[in-house]
Amino acid sequence: MNTGRTVFSQLMDFIPTYEFRKCVNRYGGNYKVKSFSCWDQYLCMSFAQLTYRESLRDIEACMRVGESKLYHMGLRGRISRNTIAHANETRDWRIYADFAQVLIEKARKMYAGHAFGLELEQTVYALDSTTIDLCLAVFPWAKFRRRKGAIKLHTLMDLRGNIPVIISITHGKTHDVSVLDGLPIEIGAIYIMDRAYTDFARLNRIHESMAFFLTRAKSNLAFKRICSRLADKSAGILSDQTITLTGPNSSRFYPGRLRRIRYYDVVSQNTFVFLTNNFVLDSLVITQLYKYRWKVELFFKWIKQHLRIKAFYGTTPNAVKTQIWIAISIYLIVAILKKTLNLDQSLYTILQVLSVSLFEKTPILKAFSPAIRIASDSHSSNQLILFD
């Protein structure tokens, strides 16, 4: 069935093209476009992400080498760096943001039964952000510091499958905690955050929405102990207390009770203090839950290392957001591919195989044969692994 079709073309079969066209039509992406449609733009940018192209000129040169195969890869327009640059600057980035949300929903359904280390019925999310440094002279709109530019990638990740559920791209000055204002709260879900998100008015909103939060307490927290539970000191639990806040502002913003857990980590030899509104889970489970927050940081490291989001092909906000959202969609497509084909390789290995075989005319499953897997894994033992 796949005879004569490139691996890239077969990979694009995992994309719901009907949903993609709906996103394009929603924002008039192909309005007055005679050649090089939004689909052509998406394919070019996807190729650049999968093969880690350095620049628009690099994309143009590499794709023209295989020009005879471009038609069979789904590309109908002529590839040139000026055409790609113009499309990235003028086509609404929300087309690709909305399409990424379609892929997110598809991936979440596929990984719904995926275990993340703890057997919990609730959905568990990790919230964090990463900063992508930019040159202020080239990106004057991305203000961060006096002589430095940056943007922030705020991400809410579903720990079942490591799927980014909500992503917000802002300039570097945006404080992390402000993201909680627009965060849709899912009843019964658990939201894990670091101390940067400790704002009691916003945490109270999560509590009143019948969801749970887990964060670390700041050292200057003013509180009063109501009662204590039995603590398993052999497991590192130093104390498990029910408290109320006594600060003039904190007590007003969060009038309810909180659970305060002090935990000593033998490995790092550090003491951590956790705050949560969950009084049901075992204290040791609470401490273990917070350890899984590192998965969202691992996601940031992974996409920075293996996808093209630290150097950009355009300098406008639209071009930057377009590139980031297409990179995220590629991450999701590879995750969908892995689950659909039941591949046991890591995402890193899958990307490595794809990067050198996109122009090959072979069934895509054959590209991930044991021989290739062994050769690839021998070079990736120290790479970041998001999927076991």
Q: Encode 146-168 in three state secondary structure.
A: CCEEEEEEEEEEECCCCEEEEEE
Element (H, E) at 144: strand 143-145
Summarize pLDDT for 66-109 with one digit per residue, the tens: 666 676 666 765 688 999 999 999 999 999 999 999 999 999 99
Mean pLDDT taken over the chain: 88
pLDDT beyond 90 at 373: no
Grade residue 200 by pLDDT with cuts at 50, 70 and 90: very high
Helix (H), strand (E) counts: the chain: 15, 10
pLDDT at site 147: 83
| Torsion angles phi and psi, residue 296, rounded to 5 | -70, -35
Grade residue 355 by pLDDT with cuts at 50, 70 and 90: confident
| CA atoms within 13 Å, Cβ hemisphere of 141 | 9
pLDDT at site 349: 86
Query: Scanning the structure block, which residue is given the tokens 């799927």?
Result: 163
pLDDT beyond 90 at 356: no
> How many structural domains are present in the chain?
1
The answer for 141, left when phi > 0, alpha when psi is -120 to 50, beta otherwise, is alpha
Q: Are 59 and 44 in contact (CB under 8 A)?
A: yes
Answer whether residue 67 is part of any domain.
yes
Rounded CA gap, 25 and 28, in Å? Answer: 5
pLDDT beyond 50 at 254: yes
* Token output for 367: 């590209």
pLDDT at site 180: 93
pLDDT at site 67: 67
pLDDT at site 154: 95
Least reliable range by pLDDT among 56-70, 191-205, 276-290, 324-338: 56-70
pLDDT at site 33: 86
pLDDT beyond 70 at 144: yes
pLDDT at site 385: 47
Residue of 80, 59, 7, 13 lying closest to 333 (CA atoms):
13
pLDDT beyond 60 at 383: no
Answer whether residue 217 is part of any domain.
no
pLDDT beyond 60 at 382: no
pLDDT at site 63: 80
Q: What is residue 78's three-state secondary structure? A: coil
Angle, in degrees to the nearest 10, between helices 370-377 and 347-357: 110
Q: What is residue 55's three-state secondary structure? A: coil
Q: Are 87 and 32 in contact (CB under 8 A)?
A: no
* Token output for 248: 């003039």
Q: Which residue has the higher pLDDT, 157 or 347?
A: 157
pLDDT beyond 70 at 377: no
**Mean pLDDT of the region 297-308:** 88
State the Cα torsion 40-43-47-48 to the nearest 10°. 60
Residue of 218, 131, 144, 128 lying closest to 180 (CA atoms):
128
pLDDT at site 165: 94
Answer whether residue 147 is part of any domain.
no
Answer whether residue 139 is part of any domain.
no
Element (H, E) at 320: helix 317-340
Answer whether residue 230 is part of any domain.
no
Q: Are 366 and 59 in contact (CB under 8 A)?
A: no
Identify the domain containing residue 335 by its residue range: 7-96+315-377
* Token output for 304: 């920075």
pLDDT beyond 50 at 374: no
* Token output for 316: 């406008």
Answer whether residue 232 is part of any domain.
no
**Mean pLDDT of the region 261-269:** 92
Summarize pLDDT for 157-171 with one digit per residue, the tens: 999 888 999 999 998
Q: What is the model's pTM?
A: 0.88
Answer whether residue 257 is part of any domain.
no
Q: Which residue has the higher pLDDT, 308 or 129?
A: 129
pLDDT at site 387: 47
Rounded CA gap, 155 and 128, in Å? Answer: 6
pLDDT at site 97: 97
Answer whether residue 287 is part of any domain.
no
How many other CB atoms sit within 10 Å of the CB of residue 271?
Answer: 11
Summarize pLDDT for 20-63 with one digit per residue, the tens: 999 999 999 999 888 889 999 999 999 999 988 889 999 888 88
**Mean pLDDT of the region 181-198:** 93
pLDDT at site 216: 95
pLDDT at site 247: 93
Share of the chain above pLDDT 70, in %: 91
| CA atoms within 13 Å, Cβ hemisphere of 17 | 10
